[in-house]
Amino acid sequence: MDSALQGVLLINLGTPDAPETGPVRRYLREFLSDPRVLDIPPVGRAALLYGAILPFRPQRSAEQYRKIWMPQGSPLLVYGNALRDRLQDALGPGWVVELGMRYGIPSLASALEKLRASGARELTVVPLYPQYASSSTGSSLEKVYRLVGEAWNVEALRVLPPFYDRPAFLDAFADVGRPVLAESRPDQVLFSFHGLPERQVKKSDPTGKHCLASVDCCDVQVPANRWCYRMQCFFTARELANRLGLEAGKWTVTFQSRLGRTPWIRPYTDVVIPELAGKGVKRLAVFCPAFVADCLETLEEIGIRAKNQFLSVGGEVLTLVPSLNAHPSWVRGLTQMIRHLRGDEPLSDAAA
C-alpha cells in the first residue's frame, strides 16, 4: 500500500439507481429532505415533501428518466465514471480518483472508504458544480466535512473552489460548443442554467442589500455578490459568448428547472423560448453551463421538452450543445486545476 498516494474525490449531485418509480422516490426523498435544498422550516418541508411531492412526482420523473436512460445506466453516472477514469489516466501514478454522489449511489461515504483503502494520504475534493450554490456545493462540502470528521484519523483536505470563471472550464466548454455552432448555424444562442429560489440567492448576500435589488446587480462582481449563483452564471455566459465570438443581442441567459410556486431567479427558460420564436428565431442552440455532465436536466428537459416547446411555437431547430462529460479539453483543464491546487504546477495562460 502506497502511503504517498494522493486522493481525488469527484462529487456530483446524484441520480436514482433505475428509471422506475421506487428508486426515483428514494432518490427524491433523500435529495429533498436536505435543508439546504428545501430551505424552509422542518414542518413545512415535511408537509411539502410527503404531501405534495413524493405522492406524485416520482412517477413523472421516472417516465422522464426512461427517455434518456443509457444501456450502461444513468447518463450522469455513466459520464461521471468516464471522467473519473480519464482523469485517473491523466493524473497518472501516485494518484487515485473516485466518484461520489451527494445523494444516491455511489455515496460519498463509499467513495471516501475506497480512497482510504487505497492508501490515499491527502484528499483533493472536487465538487463538479461550476457555480456556487448552497444547495449543491455547500451541501456536498458539508457532507464531506462531516464524514471526514467522524473518523479517528482525519485526512488533510484541499477543495477546488467554484470554477465558473476559470479559463480551464470556459475554454473546454467553448471547445465542445464551437463545432456544434458551426454545424447548426443558430439564429440565437441560449445559455440555460439551473434555477434557484430567489430567497436562496438573497441569503448569499452578506449585506442583504445587493442581490436582486436592481436589474443590473449581476453585471459586475462586488464583495456583496461574491457568493451569488446568479452573478456567477452571468459571468460564465459572458465569457463563453466572448470565446465563441457571439454578437451582442445574439445570446441570452435563462434559468430552468424551477419547482413550486415561490419566485425563482429569472428569466425563465420555458418563458423565453416562445418569446424568441415569436421574434422570428428559427434555429436555436442551447448551452447548459451549470452542468459538467449531461443528465436529466440537459437531455430530457432541454433536449426533449424544450425542443418540443420550441417546435410547437414556430421554431424549426433546437440544438442541445453537449456538456463537458469526459471531453479531452475538460479532462486536461481539470487535471491542471487539481495539480495547481496541490502546488504541483502553475496554471498556464489558458487556465489561469
Question: Mean per-residue pLDDT for 74-99?
Answer: 97
Integer Cα distance of 302 and 173 in angstroms: 17
- pTM, 2 dp: 0.95
Integer Cα distance of 308 and 295 in angstroms: 18
Q: Write down the pLDDT at residue 348.
A: 57
Angle at 347 between CA 346 and CA 352, to 5 degrees: 140
What's the pLDDT tens digit per position in 215-250? 999 999 999 999 999 999 999 999 999 999 999 999
Q: Write down the pLDDT at residue 352.
A: 41
Question: Mean per-residue pLDDT for 335-350?
Answer: 78
Integer Cα distance of 131 and 298 in angstroms: 16
What's the pLDDT tens digit per position in 131-147? 999 999 999 999 999 99
In the beta sheet, which residues pair with residue 124?
A: 8, 158
- Which three cell numbers mark 205? 448576500
Find all residues with CB under 8 Å of 122, minimum gap 6, and list them: 6, 7, 155, 156, 157, 158, 342
